[in-house]
Amino acid sequence: NRRRFDDMLDHEWRRAQRSNAPLALILLDIDYFKKYNDHYGHPAGDTCLQGVGGVLAASLNRTGDLPARYGGEEFAIILPATDLQGALAVAERMRQDILGLCIAHVESPFENVTASLGVASFEPGGKESLSTADLVMRADMQLYQAKAAGRNRVSGAAFRATGADADAGTNSGESQAAQ
């Protein structure tokens, strides 16, 4: 699954540059998952991961969109031809749908399984020195911001081939588009 993710991200990155279309990446981390595993046990943790994976797959309508297990309790979602606003909307829907699973989590301040999501959207423009690693790094930075702001949130930013970032901020209710 991870190898397919890496291959698809590289493929979609090159396609975005050729077609001058945006490419978005969502990194999702299940909040307090280690505490969940410690309290409920690993079989319950596996069931939780399967439920979240099912939500992610159901949230994607286009054949080119790819959800993948990224590691541990982290997932990555590739959204070709998707700008920041579109990716934030998808991420917020995923956040709400995970909360809607109503999986009890007594070790979480939210009392249910929740997720934090970091969104990065790349807008091509000619700077060849950028790579997929830049997209992953920016999505990871946004994930960190969502966690630092209290978890169970979406945070996102767009970046252009010129290197300029447009921050969308963090939220726990509705996604905000970059100004």
> Any idea which residues carry the catalytic annotation?
73
The residue ranges of DSSP E strands in the chain, in sequence order, are 23-30, 66-71, 74-80, 115-123, 154-160, 165-171
Tokens matching residue 137: 């790094």
Please tell me the distance from the alpha carbon of residue 77 to that of residue 176, in angstroms, as a whole number.
19
Please tell me the distance from the alpha carbon of residue 14 to that of residue 29, in angstroms, as a whole number.
26
3-class state of residue 31 by DSSP: coil
CA proximity to 67, closest of 43, 44, 50: 50
With b meaning 16 or more CB within 10 Å and e meaning fewer, what string describes 91-122? Answer: bbbbbbbbbeeebebeebeeebbbbbbbbbbb
CA proximity to 135, closest of 13, 14, 2: 13
